[in-house]
């Protein structure tokens, strides 16, 4: 039986229920369930920070089993940063614990009348007083709750930044975040500080012997793949070297350049001596997390589980900081306050460029001189953002809104798509990925349709990363594929990045675990992937999103990239790629799914909402 837990904070009530069989069959699980419930239950026009918005937590149908890299948890909601659909993934153990507690879905609705946390044990759910936790940093909250509930408990929580309504606050378990899109801000808006689950390991499989054989096959075959060993040993900081410098895609100085003096000192080899131990998510032998201690310099002694590549980039490229200790401290600060490091670092890079151009002065920054290469103002800005102090109050709203508040033409320096700050890959150097940012349902995100083809992955075909056309089919392939593997909340590092195993193995595992033969068809999982991507698009269309929003910052079309191996590149023909993509998707010229497409995908019920959005 596949079950959901619904918690209404306003009514101080909860109820457990079965997920209807039809939804299980039509949407499989994970991201599919989240999209379906979000579409059905969050009405268009809902204020993301109002009690009417919902937080939908989803763990995958294979979570808590020995299947590798499939125990991540997802949270979907209407984003306060973009006003669109968003989904954000977290790692650690929480996905397994939610499943062992008996639930694949947890829907949080309403708003508590005072700071609260949710406690789940033995199928029972209680809403408890969190007054003593409110205002506390992520690490403190986790320590206090872990002490109270012991080793069998797992916790997710938000930090002070979420309470201050920083629009890109995250939700953390341990050091791992569901980071993007302001999901933590939504959680705090409900006066919800944390969720604690106490659970015993409990896995029921229809065919345990077959499942065991499939996991054995998965582990053996994964270890033979070329990327497995290096990724396991060094983690995601390898991104500085590949693709960062090797493909000229490491964004520097707010996406103006692709290289700086000192970038080579951030190579993954220089992070190796700092590693104290490896850490990972439940049932994933990759253990890509690295607990590091800064060995010398002003930040010596700082220990944190990080940074991952994106955080490393966010606190180096935008400000040209090449101090490994300062970057580690920035990672630690984002964790303590509970913020998405990508949006935070991008917002700081925006401020540095405005300062260089004289649009911001020391009067605006509270005396901070934003000098490239100096990490101290960057670290101060992180704290100012988290506490909404001075200029931090403006940057805490993300670059799109910050530009609106600052004016003076600053919007042309705001590097976002749909309000979501761009991550650490340069769109002009990797144009398939770059245009995926523009077309993604959640805004500028590297993991909605990661385009490994830009760096040499030949599946489904080879791609010229800097070609200005011929990319629409690949972008569709990547979007659909990402959803298909996320129907089981499978980690994208294991699939899109490293290609350790493919969808056919996931299909076999689903049958062995659930006994549902329909899920054994790879084609069916592709079909549901496409369907869910379209459903998420319908959510956005209903909110007023259309072609006008599928665009990159103007800089990508008008300013050639400076430095690196892709020096001089620019995106020349975005409309050709956008038209190619819409055509592949079966969307009209305005980027709205056609009636035929909805019917083909079994989404005909959405036609009544979507018809008026078409051109």
Give the footprint of ligand SF4 on this chain (CB under 6 A). Answer: 69, 72, 91, 280-281, 284, 286-288, 491, 493-494
Between 158 and 178, CB nearer to ligand SF4: 178
Minimum CB–partner distance for residue 496 and ligand SF4 (Å): 11
Minimum CB–partner distance for residue 139 and ligand SF4 (Å): 20
Between 287 and 527, CB nearer to ligand SF4: 287
73-78/13-18 β-pairing: unpaired
Minimum CB–partner distance for residue 288 and ligand SF4 (Å): 3
* Beta pairing partners, 125: 120
Between 227 and 586, CB nearer to ligand SF4: 227
Minimum CB–partner distance for residue 523 and ligand SF4 (Å): 26
Nearest to 156 by CA among 95, 114, 99: 95
Minimum CB–partner distance for residue 70 and ligand SF4 (Å): 8
Q: How far apart are CA 598 and CA 606, in angstroms?
A: 7
Minimum CB–partner distance for residue 399 and ligand SF4 (Å): 27
| Nearby residues of 505 by Cβ (< 8 Å), 6 or more positions away | 214, 217, 218
Between 287 and 573, CB nearer to ligand SF4: 287
Minimum CB–partner distance for residue 134 and ligand SF4 (Å): 30
Other CB atoms closer than 10 Å to residue 4's CB: what's the count?
Answer: 22
Nearest to 477 by CA among 417, 425, 433: 433
Between 288 and 483, CB nearer to ligand SF4: 288
Minimum CB–partner distance for residue 508 and ligand SF4 (Å): 20
Q: How far apart are CA 224 and CA 491, in angstroms?
A: 18
Q: How far apart are CA 361 and CA 368, in angstroms?
A: 9
Q: For residues 546 and 592, is the Cβ–Cβ distance under 8 A? A: yes
Helices (H), 150-256: 160-163, 183-189, 208-224, 228-234
Minimum CB–partner distance for residue 550 and ligand SF4 (Å): 29
State the residue for tokens 């506390």: 136
- Which helix (H) or strand (E) segment holds residue 279: the answer is strand 275-279
Between 144 and 275, CB nearer to ligand SF4: 275
Minimum CB–partner distance for residue 62 and ligand SF4 (Å): 12
Minimum CB–partner distance for residue 150 and ligand SF4 (Å): 24
CA quadruple 156, 157, 158, 160: dihedral, nearest 10: -150
Minimum CB–partner distance for residue 229 and ligand SF4 (Å): 13
Between 502 and 579, CB nearer to ligand SF4: 502
Between 110 and 280, CB nearer to ligand SF4: 280
CA quadruple 339, 345, 349, 355: dihedral, nearest 10: 40
Between 176 and 547, CB nearer to ligand SF4: 176
Nearest to 441 by CA among 420, 427, 425: 420
Between 78 and 176, CB nearer to ligand SF4: 176
Minimum CB–partner distance for residue 479 and ligand SF4 (Å): 20
The token pair at 49 is 């920070």
Between 4 and 238, CB nearer to ligand SF4: 238
Q: How far apart are CA 544 and CA 44, in angstroms?
A: 9
Minimum CB–partner distance for residue 59 and ligand SF4 (Å): 13
Q: How far apart are CA 173 and CA 94, in angstroms?
A: 7
Describe the strand order of the beta sheet including 303-305 as a list of residue ranges: 275-279, 289-293, 303-305
Q: For residues 368 and 381, is the Cβ–Cβ distance under 8 A? A: yes
Rg value, the chain, Cα? 23
Between 95 and 349, CB nearer to ligand SF4: 95
- Which helix (H) or strand (E) segment holds residue 582: the answer is helix 574-585
Q: What is the distance between the terminal CA atoms of the chain, rounded to a whole angstrom?
A: 43
Q: For residues 247 and 565, is the Cβ–Cβ distance under 8 A? A: yes
Q: How far apart are CA 96 and CA 68, in angstroms?
A: 12
Positive or negative torsion for Cα 237, 241, 245, 247: negative
Between 179 and 427, CB nearer to ligand SF4: 179
Nearest to 289 by CA among 273, 308, 274, 309: 308
Q: What is the DSSP letter of 436?
A: H
Q: How far apart are CA 58 and CA 468, in angstroms?
A: 37
> What is the crossing angle of helices 472-486 and 503-514, to 10°?
30
Between 105 and 177, CB nearer to ligand SF4: 177
């Amino acid at each position: 039986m596949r079950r959901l837990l619904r918690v209404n904070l306003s009514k101080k009530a909860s109820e457990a229920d079965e997920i209807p069989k039809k939804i299980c069959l039509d949407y499989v699980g994970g991201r599919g369930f989240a999209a379906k419930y979000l579409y059905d239950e969050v009405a268009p026009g809902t204020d993301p920070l109002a009690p009417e918005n919902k937080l939908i937590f989803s763990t995958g149908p294979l979570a808590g089993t020995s299947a590798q890299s499939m125990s991540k948890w997802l949270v979907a909601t209407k984003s306060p940063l973009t006003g669109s659909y968003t989904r954000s993934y977290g790692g650690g153990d929480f996905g397994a614990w939610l499943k062992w507690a008996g639930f694949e879905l947890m829907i949080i609705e309403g708003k508590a009348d005072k700071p609260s946390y949710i406690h789940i044990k033995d199928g029972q759910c209680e809403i408890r007083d969190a007054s003593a936790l409110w205002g506390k940093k992520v690490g403190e909250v986790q320590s206090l709750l872990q002490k109270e509930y012991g080793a069998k408990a797992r916790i997710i929580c938000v930090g002070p930044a979420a309470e201050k309504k920083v629009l890109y606050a995250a939700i953390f378990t341990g050091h791992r975040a569901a980071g993007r899109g302001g999901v933590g801000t939504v959680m705090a808006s409900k006066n919800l500080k944390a969720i604690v689950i106490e659970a015993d390991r409990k896995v029921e499989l229809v065919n345990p012997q077959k499942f065991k054989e499939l996991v054995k096959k998965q582990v053996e075959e994964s270890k033979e793949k070329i990327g497995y060993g290096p990724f396991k040993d060094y983690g995601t900081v390898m991104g500085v070297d590949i693709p960062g410098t090797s493909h000229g895609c490491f964004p520097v100085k707010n996406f103006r350049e692709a290289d700086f003096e000192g970038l080579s000192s951030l190579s993954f080899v220089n992070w190796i001596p700092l590693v104290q131990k490896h850490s990972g998510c439940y049932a994933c032998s990759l253990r890509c997390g690295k607990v590091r201690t800064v060995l010398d310099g002003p930040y010596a002694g700082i220990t944190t589980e990080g940074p991952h590549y994106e955080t490393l980039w966010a606190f180096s490229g935008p400000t040209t900081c090449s101090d490994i200790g300062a970057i580690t401290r920035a990672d630690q600060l984002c964790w303590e306050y509970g913020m998405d490091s990508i949006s935070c670092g991008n917002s700081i890079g925006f401020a540095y460029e405005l300062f260089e151009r004289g649009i911001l002065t020391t009067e605006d920054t509270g005396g901070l001189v934003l000098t490239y290469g100096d990490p101290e103002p960057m670290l101060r800005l992180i704290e100012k953002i988290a506490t909404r102090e001075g200029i931090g109050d403006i940057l805490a709203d993300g670059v799109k809104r910050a530009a609106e508040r600052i004016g003076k033409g600053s919007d042309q320096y705001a590097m976002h798509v749909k309000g979501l700050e761009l991550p650490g890959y340069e769109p002009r150097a990797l144009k398939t990925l770059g245009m995926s940012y523009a077309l993604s349902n959640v805004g500028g995100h590297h993991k909605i349709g990661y385009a490994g083809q830009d760096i040499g992955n030949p599946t489904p075909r080879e791609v010229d990363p800097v070609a200005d056309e011929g990319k629409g089919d690949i972008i569709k392939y990547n979007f659909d594929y990402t959803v298909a593997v996320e129907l089981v909340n499978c980690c994208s590092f294991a699939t899109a990045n490293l290609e350790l195993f493919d969808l056919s193995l996931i299909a076999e595992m689903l049958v062995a675990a659930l006994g549902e033969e329909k899920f054994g068809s790879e084609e069916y999982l592709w079909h549901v992937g496409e369907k869910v991507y379209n459903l998420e698009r319908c959510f956005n269309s209903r909110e007023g999103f259309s072609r006008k929003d599928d665009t990159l910052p103007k800089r990508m079309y008008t300013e050639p990239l400076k430095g690196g191996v892709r020096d001089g590149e620019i995106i020349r023909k975005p409309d050709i790629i956008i038209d190619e993509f819409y055509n592949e998707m079966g969307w009209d010229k305005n980027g709205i799914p056609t009636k035929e497409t909805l019917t083909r995908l079994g989404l005909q019920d959405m036609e009544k909402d979507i018809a008026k959005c078409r051109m």
